[in-house]
Amino acid sequence: MGKIILTMQMSLDGIVSNEDRWMSLSDEILEDYYEYYDTLDTIVVGGNTYASMAQYWQHAEKCSESALERSMAKRINDIPKIVISSTVKDLVWRNSRQIVVQDNRALVREMEETKKNAGKISVESGVKTWQSFIQAEIFDELWLFVHPAIASQGEKLFAYAEKPFSMTLSGSKKYENGVVGLLYRK
């Protein structure tokens, strides 16, 4: 059976939106992401962020000035992707399929079925999708990149967690730009 990993960038005050205002990626972080993408069987994205991610990674594969980013983009574009949405989307990103869900019960059913047939599943975006997975408690690991910045405004990752839960820290890494990577398991 597979496992579901929620991965995201987060500010010190728990904000996971408006990353362009506070996020600072480095080649060191990109290299760890590249290794991570080599281990994935499936990527999950929310319907609200699907189009922008598809456009970005398809463009980066051909046009990025960074060889590392071009290689990572190719890998991301090749990995099967599931788009979670309550409405039907026009799928333009290769290796994409859609799961239409109306509530968290349907999301749980669909993801439990997906876990039966996949190894590592990475939930990449967006905020509402992460919050739904947390609220429904359908994840096995949480990989956070905590940036040394206070965003002060935006969506908080755990804003809709309905009850407390504990996790175990299974790995951490400090990056040269002050970002800390934290891997938690349920």
- The pTM of this model reads 0.92
Q: How far apart are CA 81 and CA 9, in angstroms?
A: 20
| Partners of residue 11 on adjacent β-strands | 147
Read off the pLDDT band of 118 (50, 70, 90): confident
Q: What strands lie across the sheet with 120-125, from one edge to the other?
A: 96-100, 81-85, 42-46, 120-125, 3-11, 141-147, 180-185, 168-174
And the tokens for 185?
A: 């398991």
And the tokens for 33?
A: 């992401």
What are the residues whose beta carbons fall under 8 Å from the beta carbon of 110, sequence distance 6 or more? 84, 99, 101
Domain boundaries, given as residue ranges, for the chain: 3-185
Q: Show the CA angle centred on residue 79, arms to residues 76 and 80, nearest 5°.
A: 130
Q: Beta 120-125 vs 3-11: how paired, if at all?
A: parallel
Q: How far apart are CA 28 and CA 77, in angstroms?
A: 21
pLDDT for 158 equals: 87
Q: What is the pLDDT of residues 24-71, one digit of tens each?
A: 888 899 999 999 999 999 999 999 899 999 999 999 999 999 899 999
Read off the pLDDT band of 173 (50, 70, 90): very high
Q: What is the CATH number of domain 3-185?
A: 3.40.430.10
